[in-house]
């Protein structure tokens, strides 16, 4: 925390909101101190975040199918996250296609956090004991860009 030189010495609470730049500073410092690559660190943090979300709303994932949980991430954001952080700039996941073995999601965010989102998906996969492969790629469209996640069941 000290090496990042964030305000307040890095004292954070779970009910506070903080500038995105502080997260970037903390992540950048962690990359330098650990020799991890930023995508790997962001993915690990996303996996951690999924575990935290489960602790807030365990019924949302208990005995649920992975694809059903991933399709409803936006519902979780609106019902659980928004009540704690009303001003949060939340990402969105929109289903592009779904079959029994494959789910394609469009991830829209005003922040470059696709690797964190990938970690959330992988964290859900581990938590629900539903192995998947996850690929993501940037996409362009009129009016902006997004990241496409292609999730396939394995085994």
- Determine whether 154 is exposed, middle or buried from the number of CB atoms within 10 Å of its CB (0-12, 13-18, 19+): exposed
- Please tell me the distance from the alpha carbon of residue 133 to that of residue 31, in angstroms, as a whole number: 25
- Please tell me the distance from the alpha carbon of residue 130 to that of residue 5, in angstroms, as a whole number: 40
pTM for this predicted structure: 0.88
- Domain range annotation of the chain: 1-35, 38-153
Q: Does domain 38-153 have CATH number 3.90.340.10?
A: no
pLDDT digits (tens, 9 = 90+) for 65-105: 999 999 998 888 777 778 878 888 889 999 999 999 999 99
pLDDT digits (tens, 9 = 90+) for 28-48: 999 999 989 999 999 999 999
């Amino acid at each position: 925390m000290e090496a990042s030189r964030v305000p307040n010495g890095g004292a954070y609470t779970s009910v506070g909101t903080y500038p995105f730049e502080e997260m970037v500073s903390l992540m950048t410092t962690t990359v330098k101190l650990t020799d991890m690559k930023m995508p790997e660190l962001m993915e690990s943090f996303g996996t951690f975040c999924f575990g935290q979300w489960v602790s807030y709303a365990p019924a949302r994932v208990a005995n649920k199918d992975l694809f059903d949980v991933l399709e409803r991430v936006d519902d979780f954001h609106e019902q659980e996250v928004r009540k704690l952080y009303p001003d949060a700039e939340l990402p969105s996941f929109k289903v592009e296609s779904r079959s029994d073995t494959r789910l394609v999601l469009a991830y829209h965010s005003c922040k470059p956090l696709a690797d964190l989102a990938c970690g959330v998906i992988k964290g859900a996969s581990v938590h629900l004991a539903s192995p998947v492969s996850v690929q993501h790629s940037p996409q362009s469209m009129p009016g902006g860009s997004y990241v496409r996640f292609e999730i396939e069941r394995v085994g």
